[in-house]
Amino acid sequence: MSLNAKTLREDEFFYGHKACAGCGGSLAVRIALKVLGERAIAVLPAGCMSAVGFNFPQLCFGNNAIISTFAGTASMLTGIEAGLRAQGITDFQAVGFAGDGGTADIGLQALSGAIDRNDDILYICYDNEAYMNTGVQKSSLTPFGAKTTTTPAGKNIHGNLRQKKNMFEIVAAHGIPYAATASIGYLDDFIRKVEKASKIKGTKYIHIIAPCPTGWGIATDETVEIAKEVVDSGLWYLAEYENGEFTLNRRPKAFSDVGAYLRKQGRFSHLTEDDIHFIEQSRDAKWEFIDKTFKL
């Protein structure tokens, strides 16, 4: 029987940290480590989770954990995996937890290298859609229209002008053994994917949406709800890539209101009806592609 929220172990491996109230990223790390257990070796680059978890002498990981350089999550995972294997140790899981900037921007080269070599590692990107640790600056995974401290919303420019980089398909294009998208709003789905990934040999990648109340402008008790809504509105999707095929895990019959999702968040409060219409159009175009390409 596969794990779910009810059968997940009681042990905690990430606690006592100083993440903001309602942090989605810390939930993703906590749950993934509960799935992987004490034989997980976690690598975290510069970013929120390393900033809140590794403040000497207050070290918050119950399993082995290390901070990598910002660009070096994947390459450090590679070295850890190779170093242990060279010593005849194989019953462990090297797992990376990097944010959206650490993954899609500065860490992309090392990640691509690791997938190319098919190193036996699990890489989890917790995507809170901006450089939150440094105070909410745009990353290449910041969605269109979002206001950040480097994409201010003014009269002339309505926040970020670019769409999210398509990390899931970029990773899949390497021919990776396993890749998946997830959301902390659907934890059972995430738990299943982490467990599945841990049993696959070679490089695995899971991209989980992890809302940040501080950066998104939502209440601290709305994190999980907004993480559900981003999926329900069709602005994010739950899918897997395996054996060269894309599978959609969840196809909403009808999407919930995109406008309602956006209006709840401070970072989108400036959007005009035209902006929202554009976001809906982009979503529909994406889903046309998904419905055509992904198995259900």
Binding residues for other proteins (CB under 8 A): 38-39, 41, 43, 50-51, 53-57, 59-69, 71-72, 74-87, 89, 92, 109-110, 112-113, 116-117
Q: Which is nearer to other proteins, 170 or 248 (CB)?
A: 170
**Alpha-carbon separation of residue 125 from 205, 208, 215, 295 (angstroms):** 8, 6, 17, 23
Report in angstroms how near the CB of residue 79 gets to other proteins at its nearest. 2
Residue 146 has what DSSP assignment?
-
Report in angstroms how near the CB of residue 13 gets to other proteins at its nearest. 9
Report in angstroms how near the CB of residue 102 gets to other proteins at its nearest. 13
CB 85 within 8 A of CB 94: no
Report in angstroms how near the CB of residue 212 gets to other proteins at its nearest. 20
Q: Which is nearer to other proteins, 64 or 282 (CB)?
A: 64
Report in angstroms how near the CB of residue 245 gets to other proteins at its nearest. 27
* Size (the chain), residues: 296
Report in angstroms how near the CB of residue 44 gets to other proteins at its nearest. 9
The number of CA neighbours under 13 Å toward the Cβ of 133 is: 21
Q: Which is nearer to other proteins, 54 or 287 (CB)?
A: 54
CB 17 within 8 A of CB 25: no
Kindly calculate the radius of gyration of the chain based on its CA atoms and give it in whole angstroms: 18
CB 215 within 8 A of CB 189: no
**Alpha-carbon separation of residue 90 from 9, 79, 80, 176 (angstroms):** 23, 14, 11, 21
Cα–Cα distance measured from residue 67 to residue 65, given in angstroms and rounded to the nearest whole number: 7
Cα–Cα distance measured from residue 108 to residue 5, given in angstroms and rounded to the nearest whole number: 31
Q: Which is nearer to other proteins, 81 or 240 (CB)?
A: 81
Q: Which is nearer to other proteins, 75 or 160 (CB)?
A: 75
Q: Alpha helix locations (H) across the chain?
A: 24-36, 48-53, 73-86, 100, 108-117, 167-172, 187-198, 213-216, 223-232, 258-263, 273-293
Q: Which is nearer to other proteins, 103 or 142 (CB)?
A: 103
Neighbours of 58 (CB within 10 A): 11
- Amino acid identity for residue 141 in this structure: L
Report in angstroms how near the CB of residue 178 gets to other proteins at its nearest. 21
Q: Which is nearer to other proteins, 83 or 154 (CB)?
A: 83
Q: Which is nearer to other proteins, 41 or 226 (CB)?
A: 41
Report in angstroms how near the CB of residue 38 gets to other proteins at its nearest. 7
CB 189 within 8 A of CB 250: yes
